[in-house]
Structure 1
Amino acid sequence: MARNATRHVRTTLGAAAVMLTVLSALTACTSEDPGPPANAAPSAGSSEESDTEESPTPLASGEEMELSVLTYNIEYSGDKTTDAVIKDVGADIVGVLESYDRLPEIAEKTGYPYYNLGLQILSKYPIHEPSGADGLYSLIEVQPGYVVAMFNTHLDYVRYGPRLYLNGMAVEDVLASEDVVRTSSIEVLTPDVQNLIDEGYPVFLTGDLNQPSSLDYTEATLGMREGVDDVIPWTVSEALLATGLRDSFREIHPDPVENPGLTHGNPDFHEGGFGDRIDYLYAGGPATTLTSEMVGEVGGPNVDREYDPWTSDHRAVLSSFDVTPVALRQTLSLDRRLITEGEDLGALYNAPGNDEGTIYVVPEGGAADEAVVSVDVSGESGTTQVDTTTLRPAGYDVVLTDADGEELERNSFWIRSEEDDIALATDKTTYAVGEPIEVTWDDGPANRWDWVGVYEADAADPEKDDYLIWGYTGGHEAGALPPTVFGEMTMGDESQGKPWPLPPGDYRIHYLLADQYSSAGYVDVTVE
């Protein structure tokens, strides 16, 4: 697939996850589902509330239960072979990486009733995007009214730390690079991870983190990897462990010499490289790890569950837990925060002590009196459908008020255009050599890992030609942050690829979808 050294392909490190629309089925809750218990504690646990000195009201606990979780990078959308693995493993929750827009099909073929493409999750239980989460995590209702918290992320692959180290870079410089590319991204999530653990939630974090663990580069492992002569405190694992999360695989397999648990190679394990463990399943709060297994190819090192064929370039990790879920707090949760124009929006409200209220849809940041859509609701909790068919593509807030009009909770969502008719623009049409190019877009498709690439004007077909400089629309944080329908980027000396500065000539700048090569729009510029 690659055509030159800068081709935008991830055959050795795995592509970043692409997250499109979400269709987890809140509406599957029926009248037989009693919903959240009446004694559920107030407040949604937002970051603003967690910064106060008051301790949160302890959450009511559900029944202790066993829960299995799988983290699986299926490689470039996967296919029927990866679907077969997911179906056979049958985990309760799956953090899927690189599913792109095929997750609905995967859910159908594997029998999962709930999925969230924005967060790349399959689940046997309802998935909620709660107010206060800002699209960074979900609450999964594993018992009626009782939930666990679930994060799933994919960190950027560029400037892979072990490769820099083996090429002679000093450890401190490698870790400084990691701070820019990956640690800053995981720190988008760690405040919420910490808050949820402190409040008493069972918390799970799955993902392809594109970085080894500090638990694997220890004094005991020196000599296992050719050329590695240092103990390396890899920064992403250090940041996650500091929140109180536990590496479930290392809990069950604490000796990295006896069981390295390699999920990917540097070089590729299929070619005989020693490899690294970069796919993880972390757990925190009231969740005790019972088992943790490597899932992969027949005969693979330390592979517990073998499959033939095994087509992914990553191995997967399956862990089981003894979990005590907690009561759903006051919340206004959405079944998805990114919809396509014309679709309805499913919402769950839980407001103990409030028998009547209204859900308003307002322009982003607006107040209830600016509502463009409203739905009256009754009862302390329930589900409803919000009609958004008259709304144009843009960002909106959805607001829950009590009977007196006081705001209780707020969430947000995006409506994207039904067509790929993005409005892409630059601040100028002609630039001097070395002058940064400011690119903006609106009415975008809002996929995670969308990217902007610069091509020579006479070789500008993304399906066959090579790009020059490029960048993700979400930057290095694209795998952690929820995507939006508008944004901006500076093409310059901080851009990926080469050359910079661009030499004099004519160029075409494409907005490309989902870490691949389908263009949603372009704009032409000249450098002179």
Structure 2
Amino acid sequence: MSCSFAFINCKNEKIIKLNVLQFNIWQEGTVVPNGFNAVVDEIIRTDADLIAFSEVRNYNGVDFSKHIVEALKEKGHTYYAQPSQDTGLLSKYPIIEQTALYPVKNDHGSITKAIIDVLDVEIAFYSGHLDYLNCALYLPRGYDGSTWNKLDSIVTDVEQIQKNNLESMRDDAIDVFIADAENEIKQDRLVIYGGDNNEPSHLDWIEANKNLYDHNGVVINWRNTSELENRGFKDAYREVFPNPLTHPGFTYPADNPLVPINKLAWSPEADDRDRIDFIFYYPDERLQLMNAKILGPQGDVSRNQRVLEVTEDVFLEPLNVWPTDHKAVLTEFALKF
């Protein structure tokens, strides 16, 4: 095999590129005209090997996993998937087994897990879509994080914000993931997680930007990204772009010109741009992070307006139709054998 790919000394080594895509597809792309086909087109365009979906619904009794695999096959691309609910996984490589690690219940989030055989290297791949209620990132912005009603005043007390945040079930799901992933690591499997966590990163709410994006002076150690970091997991986007001032990496709310603004703005008088979609991985000498991009429009929604980001983030703009109100995260790894 040629060693032209990867910036790795590949003497006597086999190295392949592994593209991982985290993709909230907004009710299977049904909210946006031609959205499902756009999901298919973006998967093909990104040449994604592993895809973590959020908002799999299996509408009208139609198995989304079968639907997406067949749609890709019609365009000449072979993928594997198994039935799931809320979260889903898609792979160019065979799925050995798949489980609902943290099953969805009353719409409080889920994590789906698959063991995937990538040329005899086994990867434990997880897709998360965490509880959307008690979404405490809205409190400093003056909105309730469960009803999205405007509050009488903003909430800047960190203890109060943390308390509200922990009333969600996001931490329960992440703790289940960490425990399972640590067991997989002991079995010498690689671990990659992609998810819409509905919670920001502690790496993004820091002293340097406490007066930006309606943080309103709040510096906060958001629980779940902090816990993941403490247990050794790496935030792929922040590994490549560590500075949230130059590369905020916002993934929500994304502008979508095919959707009325009132369907995109949950806190219309606030700037609630945030990074809530992630790819995490556990370091391993066989897996080298090469690059990360934001897949989606450069535009955002802020204060009930469509705005264009002026950042140094690297965007892969949509082909045509963008199927969702999130932006996706695309990372490129080098996988060494």
Distance 1:269 1:98 in 2: 19
Query: Where does 1:490-501 land on structure 2 (aligned, <5 Å)?
Result: none
The CA deviation at 1:67 is: 0.9
Q: Check conservation: 1:248, 1:292, Cα contact below 8 A.
A: yes
2:233 is the alignment partner of 1:233: no
What is the aligned partner in structure 1 of residue 325 from structure 2? 313
Correspondence for 1:104: 66
2:290 is aligned to 290
Report Cα offsets for 1:244-275 as digits up to 9, x if no partner.
11000111111100010000039947989451
- Say what the alpha-carbon RMSD is for the aligned residues: 2.7
- Using the TM superposition, give the Cα deviation of residue 132 of structure 1 relative to its aligned residue in structure 2, in angstroms: 12
Residue matched to 1:391: none
User: What per-residue deviation string (whole Å, max 9, x for no partner) do you get for residues 128-181 of structure 1?
Assistant: 2279979852211001x3311101111011121111233333211221222231
Q: How does the TM-score come out when normalised to structure 1?
A: 0.46
Q: Which of 270, 277, 280 matches 1:279?
A: 277
- 1:256-267 to 2 correspondence within 5 Å? 256-265=244-253
1:122 aligns with 2:98: no
Q: Take 1:131 and 1:109, find their aligned partners in 2: how far apart are those partners?
A: 23
Alpha-carbon spacing, 1:171–1:225, altered in 2? closer, same or farther (3 Å): same
Change (3 A) 1:269 1:251: farther
Question: Which runs of 5 or more residues in structure 2 are unaligned?
Answer: 1-12, 30-35, 59-63, 104-111, 143-153, 255-261, 300-307
Determine helix, strand or coil for the equivalent of 2:81: strand
**Aligned AA (1:282):** F
5+ residue gaps, structure 1, are 1-61, 326-528
Could you tell me how far apart the structure 2 residues matched to 1:259 and 1:294 are? Answer: 10
CA–CA distance in 1 between the matches of 2:67 and 2:127? Answer: 19
2:272 aligned with 1:304, yes or no? no
Match of residue 145 from structure 2:
none
Partners of 2:141 and 2:272 within 8 A in 1: no
**Does the C-alpha gap of structure 1 residues 226 and 177 become closer, same or farther in structure 2, counting only changes over 3 Å?**
closer
Q: Which digits, 9 at most, give the CA deviation of each residue in 1:176-200, with x for residues without a partner? A: 2222311122112111122333443
1:80 to 34, 37, 43: 37
Deviation at 1:297, TM superposition (A): 1.8
Report the Cα distance in structure 2 between the residues aligned to 1:157 and 1:112, rounded to whole angstroms.
33
Q: AA paired with 1:103?
A: S
CA contact (8 A) 2:125 2:191 kept: yes
Q: SS where residue 120 of structure 1 aligns?
A: strand
Amino acid at match of 1:291: N
State the distance in 1 between where 2:20 and 2:174 align: 20
Q: TM-score, normalised by structure 2?
A: 0.71
2:197 to 181, 192, 209: 209
Cα 1:91–1:226 change in 2 (3 A) is same
Share of identical aligned residues, percent? 28
Q: Which runs of 4+ in 1 moved over 6 A?
A: 130-135, 269-272
Q: CA deviation at 1:86?
A: 1.7
Q: Name the CA shift for 1:85/1:171 in 2 (closer, same or farther; >3 Å).
A: same
Question: Which stretch shows the higher mean deviation, 116-125 or 207-216?
Answer: 116-125
What are the superposed Cα offsets for residues 64-116 of structure 1, whole Å, 9 maximum, x if unpaired? 43211000001011122222212211200100111322232122222342012
Larger strand proportion, structure 1 or 2? Answer: 1
How many Å separate the matches in 2 of 1:112 and 1:173?
49
Q: What amino acid sits opposite 1:242 in the alignment? A: N
Name the counterpart of 1:160.
Answer: 135
Give the direction of change, closer, same or farther, for the CA distance of 1:200–1:63 in structure 2 (3 Å limit).
farther
Task: State the secondary structure of the residue aligned to 1:129.
Answer: strand
1:91 to 34, 48, 65: 48
Give the conservation status (yes or no) of the 8 Å contact 1:69–1:93: yes
Q: Which amino acid in the other structure matches residue 160 of structure 2?
A: D
In the alignment, which residue of structure 1 is the partner of 2:33? none
> How many angstroms does 1:226 deviate by?
2.3
Counterpart contact for 1:265–1:274, Cα < 8 Å: yes
Paired residue type of 2:238: R
Distance 2:123 2:183 in 1: 13
Residue in 2 that maps onto 1:186: 174
- Counterparts in 2 of 1:134 and 1:254: CA distance versus 1, 3 Å: closer
